[in-house]
Structure 1
């Protein structure tokens, strides 16, 4: 029977390798911490950038929507707002939105770089006048964390379409083509032509129409997906009509700005 011939404090085996391994683990941890590469640091970086508080434009006296306004686009039926859907992987590696970026309708309604859009002229001019029904414009995210990306859509293809509904996809792109041009329509189809040229009023029910495909922005509440920001609804570009040839609740949105106290 073997008997112990040494004191328990005596180091045996690969003890020096074990000590060195522990020291290397501590050094690697410290290097990642100094470089800001720890998961907790990246998550905190996302909170400070993509989810930081932003201010919407103030509502004018006549409630007209102006070029250059910072707005939220709210889907009336679901109470969600149009938001960028940043994947967990991208949010860990970047502090701002990158092209292409998917879109969703989120219950997180606080204004932040994910969901605040600025109304810009389609021809690049800096206009200081009301936006009218039927007038073409571009919806852009904010500078900095927003990346100044444009709301984009196109016809659905086999490889480029919404993940669940398979309808035309809506994304954010660093693009200046006709795919990023939109216009507002009046909700009532009976007076839609008469309303063209009249200023869009904040708070009214509106339809966001894509100029190239002539399809309307839609929130598909039946298709939901879990994201790092909670359960969110799919967004696509498709016109849904009822028996009276009027757009259904999927296509009905409203504009939100900062109301005066």
Structure 2
């Protein structure tokens, strides 16, 4: 008769399989190839805190800034929270995290309620032409590029290409905004004065940090807009959508979805109110 000590079935193969799984686990652990190790490295990279540009009189080329929509709620509809302000930030899906430790060409952009400056939500202002403009003031109505402060193998820029019939649309079926390694005409942006009646007078003038402005996509003439009605539970937490679309009232003045601030390092004299006169 068989007792409990008798080994039945494919016991030799099961032991060999267990030993092989253990060896594979140890090898991946030593090479830091385990999924948990890979995910920790991604989080350490994208949430690493960075230093914003020192406060100054005006926004300049080469400055590290955040793009913040100060009048948009930083929480989903019908939420118990009451904080305001979201910042433009990169995000990654599960496929991206499985293949890389940094943001890649084609990663989406969202608006994040986490306002702490880090790699995923800090950008560098670059000139849109071949001239060296490091330290020069960025002017109203002047084309520029927005480069993510840090990426993997190549620089990544904020880019919005008009979708075709077969391509994917963004939130609310509006033009999507992505990170791209192609700094072409679709990656060019310009800053407009928040009041349409003062844009002719302010064209070519510099503007200070933390002042409400409109960011316009050069190729389409549409505005960078927060899609507050579209919230997602991403791997980095709850984020809302962002697109290229102009939200305006009956007076053709852009509403809160299209009002942004270039945020630098905080200072005691910082003023976040809409200016009463021209810039």
Q: TM-score higher than 0.5 here?
A: yes
Kindly tell me: are residues 108 and 92 of structure 1, through their superposed partners in 2, closer, same or farther at Cα, counting changes over 3 Å? Answer: farther
- In the alignment, the residues of structure 1 paired with residue 47 and residue 166 of structure 2 have an alpha-carbon distance, to the nearest angstrom, of 31
User: Equivalent residue of 2:96, what SS?
Assistant: helix
Aligned residues of 2:145 and 2:187 also touching (Cα < 8 A): yes
1:116 and 2:122 equivalent? yes
Give the structure 1 partner of residue 159 of structure 2.
152
Q: Over residues 232-252 of structure 1, what are the superposed CA-to-partner deviations in whole Å (9 max), with x where a residue is unaligned?
A: 111110111111111111111
In structure 1, stretches of 5+ residues that fail to align are none
* Inter-partner Cα distance in structure 1 for 2:155 and 2:61: 16
2:230 alignment partner, SS class: strand
Aligned residues: CA RMSD: 1.7
How far, CA to CA, are the matches of 2:154 and 2:115 in structure 1? 20
Change (3 A) 1:248 1:144: closer
- CA pair 144-100 structure 1, distance change in 2 beyond 3 A: closer
In structure 2, the CA distance between the partners of 1:8 and 1:143, relative to structure 1 (3 Å rule), is: closer
Look up the match of 2:271: none
Q: State the match for 2:176 in structure 1.
A: 169
TM-score, normalization by structure 1: 0.92
* Deviations 1:151-195, CA, capped at 9 Å, x for gaps: 111223323343441111111111131111110000011111101
Number of equivalent positions: 255
TM-score (norm 2): 0.86
User: Which protein has the larger Cα radius of gyration, Structure 1 or Structure 2?
Assistant: 1
Deviates more, 1:190-199 or 1:151-160: 151-160
Give, in angstroms, the shift of residue 35 of structure 1: 2.2
Q: After the TM superposition, which parts of structure 1 deviate over 4 Å for at least 4 consecutive aligned residues?
A: 144-147
Stretches of structure 2 lacking an aligned partner (at least 5 in a row): 73-84, 269-279
Specify whether residues 110 and 92 from structure 1 end up closer, same or farther in structure 2 by C-alpha distance, changes over 3 A only.
farther
Structure-to-structure mapping, 1:81-120, within 5 angstroms: 81-120=87-126
Alignment of 1:54 with 2:60, yes or no, is no
